Structure 1
Amino acid sequence: MKKNIPTVALDAVDLSILKHLQSDGAMSTPKLAEQLSLSVTPCWRRLKRLEEEGYILGYQANLDRRKLGLDVMAFVSLSFGNVGDKQPNRFETLIQDHAQVLSCHKITGEADYLLVVLAHDLDDYSNFIEALRVIPGISSIHSNLALKEIKFNSRLPLDI
């Protein structure tokens, strides 16, 4: 497996750009340059290089799921009867288009996959689980519902 090796080493200014943008992705380049004590053009060049090299995947707003009526968050672990079969690959393709799934990870341990799923209510979540049950090859599905969100952070720890 090929590692993601940076084409240019990140320096303190690059890391500072990334930190600022994680805090405020809508920050304008002039404002970012001001925060970094740089002129606008060099700041813009660094920003474009970070985008082109894939350090910055995109820009988005963090939304309040509850205000949007998505009150149920579930962690779903599922297993396949035979992971050497083509069914897991088909599942991975299918799950890409499922809007309720925030993330899907192939994992080690008792299950093969771990999903983070949002739903409006328990009935909506039950419908999601029923849709999973008809996917060929899945041998077990286990759900854990989030009772309370203690910490939410989509920012990467750039200080470690």
Structure 2
Amino acid sequence: MTKIDAVSMQMLTLLQDDGRMTNAKLAETLSMSETPCWRRLKRLEESGIIEGYQARLNRRKIGLGVMAFVQLRCSEHDATTTATFQRIIETSPNILSCHNTTGADDFLLIAVARDLDDYSTFVETTLRRLPGVTSIRSNLSLREMKSSSRLPIMRSDS
């Protein structure tokens, strides 16, 4: 784990609140001059701690009313099948995340769709065509109680 000092932790917290914060405002908030602030920010980016910046969108307001948690079980785990599986997962715009998990199922996906008909089409045209998949179980979200990509910023030496 990369050591993160208190100033960098404060910077990361501020940027999670407002990724569009200017360097001038960031430096002012941190009581730093702009050049050292910019250098510190660049180090966080170059080290991969900050992977990028993006706008958070309201999925419902852009027409994605269905969110599903999908559990997949696979019978094949060879290199070719896994590579094909991963390529399809990575290129599917409906899949927000995919995790290789422990337990009865091999993968947990979070997927979105416009409506149930669109989700059905996604299952038929994408999920059922994944190589090696023997079981697909979907749980549809009825109500989203929390949605965040914010990470808790903690001292690396604690």
1-side partners of 2:32 and 2:105: how far apart? 49
Please provide the CA RMSD for this pair. Answer: 1.3
Summarize deviations over 1:65-110 as a string: whole Å, max 9, x none.
0000100000001011133463233101211110110001111111
Query: What is the deviation of 1:10?
Result: 1.3
Partner of 2:130: 135
2-side partners of 1:159 and 1:147: how far apart? 32
Indicate which of 125, 139, 145 corresponds to 1:150.
145
Partner of 1:22: 16
Unaligned runs of 5+ in 2: none
2-side partners of 1:31 and 1:136: how far apart? 50
Q: Which amino acid aligns with 2:154?
A: D
TM-score normalised to structure 1 length: 0.92
Partner of 1:80: 74
2:30 maps to 1:36: yes
Indicate which of 69, 78, 81 corresponds to 2:63.
69
Task: Single out whichever of 133-142 and 49-58 deviates more from structure 2.
Answer: 133-142
Contact persistence 1:80–1:88 (CA under 8 A): no
- Superposed, 1:102-121 pairs within 5 Å as 102-121=96-115
Identity %: 53
Higher relative contact order (CA 8 A, sep 6+): 2
Displaced runs of 4 or more, over 2 A? 82-86
